[in-house]
């Protein structure tokens, strides 16, 4: 398995990406890691004389910045590390790529450089959101497309279901449609039209799921358009962040409250960590003719190593081929 890592993407790249790559290469000998980026900068973090044989460097002279306009950056910076990593997949020199860089640019790289799976109208970014039962929920789309058609939601549902089956081993992932009520006819025009499509899809559709039940683990795959998904995620983050900051204030109010806080802290720190969706691995960009994983910008070496673990499982399970087959099957069925 050849996994290209965008060495220059992320807040602390290339230190974290190189260190993560080395950790992964040492752990899994069946993996060939290709670090894509500026040779000199990468070399600075490589241990002299003891680089594992399954790590190579592929030079790329340019970098896409966090605040670059995605489409323009991907089109113009042809030698940017992210774009070059995408090209390695396109040309058959890599099977997967991982980047902690600019999200919009990575989606554009997936779309324009790697290419969509035939029949997929729109790729979807699918991070895992935390749930209280620790199993998590794959939510899609949480990418750059704000509006979606009912048919887009159908494809998100099928791709998400295949991902949870192949990569997480769930036999029958419960797919839910994010909505304002559980009854079938609830919702806006989009969800009302998507509902019957999801009912007929080759998935285990459990119906509408309300926003308040997502955290409780109401489903394994949550389907929504990018706008609503973003509102959901950000309001969960905002509320949790606000409550934790109030707790912090309460905890430091007096001598006794500081003492009390010390008792409660371990449990709450663990809980806070659980609520942090950045802890829940890299997000796959589904619907692309190759495996593309988005790691969080603040990823440390361990997060990069974990993304390699995810890529390994996805490649071994032939995720992309499964999505492609399912889409092809449906397309052929229609014709």
Binding-site ranges for a copy of itself (CB under 8 A): 132, 146-147, 178, 180, 187-189, 191, 210-216, 225-228, 230-232, 234-243, 246-247, 250-251, 253, 256-257, 259-261, 263-264, 267-268, 271, 275
Residue 62 DSSP label: B
For residues 318 and 120, give the distance between their C-alpha atoms in angstroms, rounded to a whole number.
17
Angle (CA) 65 71 75, round 5°: 90
Cβ pair 45, 7 in contact under 8 A: no
Cβ pair 164, 221 in contact under 8 A: yes
**Closest CB 206 distance from a copy of itself, rounded Å:** 17
User: Containing H/E element for 161?
Assistant: helix 150-166
Of the pair 23, 247, the CB lying nearest a copy of itself is at 247
Please report, for residues 117, 176, 217, the alpha-carbon distance to residue 182 in angstroms, rounded to integers and kept in the order given.
32, 10, 15
Cβ pair 29, 54 in contact under 8 A: yes
**Closest CB 112 distance from a copy of itself, rounded Å:** 21
**Closest CB 179 distance from a copy of itself, rounded Å:** 8
**Closest CB 45 distance from a copy of itself, rounded Å:** 33
Of the pair 53, 263, the CB lying nearest a copy of itself is at 263
Phi, psi of 313 (to 5 degrees): -65, -45
Of the pair 243, 316, the CB lying nearest a copy of itself is at 243
Of the pair 264, 316, the CB lying nearest a copy of itself is at 264
Of the pair 114, 228, the CB lying nearest a copy of itself is at 228
- Joined together, the tokens standing for residue 298 give 């603040």
């Amino acid at each position: 398995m050849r996994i290209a890592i965008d060495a220059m993407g992320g807040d602390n790249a290339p230190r974290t990406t190189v260190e993560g790559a080395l950790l992964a290469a040492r752990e899994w000998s069946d993996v060939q890691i290709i670090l894509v980026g500026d040779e000199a900068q990468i070399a600075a973090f490589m241990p002299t004389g003891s680089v594992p044989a399954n790590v190579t460097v592929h030079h790329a002279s340019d970098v896409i910045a966090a605040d670059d306009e995605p489409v323009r950056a991907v089109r113009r910076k042809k030698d940017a590390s992210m774009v070059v990593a995408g090209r390695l997949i396109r040309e058959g020199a890599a099977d997967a790529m991982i980047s902690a860089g600019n999200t919009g640019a990575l989606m554009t790289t997936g779309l324009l450089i790697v290419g969509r799976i035939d029949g997929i109208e729109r790729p979807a970014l699918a991070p895992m959101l935390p749930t209280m039962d620790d199993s998590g929920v794959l939510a899609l789309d949480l990418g750059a497309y704000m509006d979606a058609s009912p048919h887009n939601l159908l494809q998100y549902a099928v791709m998400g279901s295949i991902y949870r089956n192949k990569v997480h081993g769930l036999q029958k992932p419960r797919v839910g449609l994010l909505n304002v009520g559980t009854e079938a006819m609830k919702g806006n025009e989009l969800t009302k039209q998507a509902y019957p499509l999801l009912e007929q899809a080759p998935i285990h559709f459990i119906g509408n799921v309300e926003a308040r039940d997502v955290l409780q683990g109401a489903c394994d795959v949550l389907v929504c358009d990018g706008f609503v998904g973003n509102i959901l995620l950000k309001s969960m983050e905002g509320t949790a962040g606000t409550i934790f900051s109030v707790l912090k204030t309460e905890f430091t109010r007096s001598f006794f409250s500081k003492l009390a806080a010390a008792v409660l802290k371990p449990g709450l720190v663990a809980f806070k960590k659980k609520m942090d969706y950045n802890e829940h691995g890299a997000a796959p960009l589904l619907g692309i003719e190759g495996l593309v994983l988005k790691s969080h910008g603040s990823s440390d070496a361990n997060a990069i190593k974990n993304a390699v673990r995810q890529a390994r499982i996805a490649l071994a399970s032939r995720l992309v081929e499964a999505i492609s087959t399912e889409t092809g099957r449906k397309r052929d069925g229609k014709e």
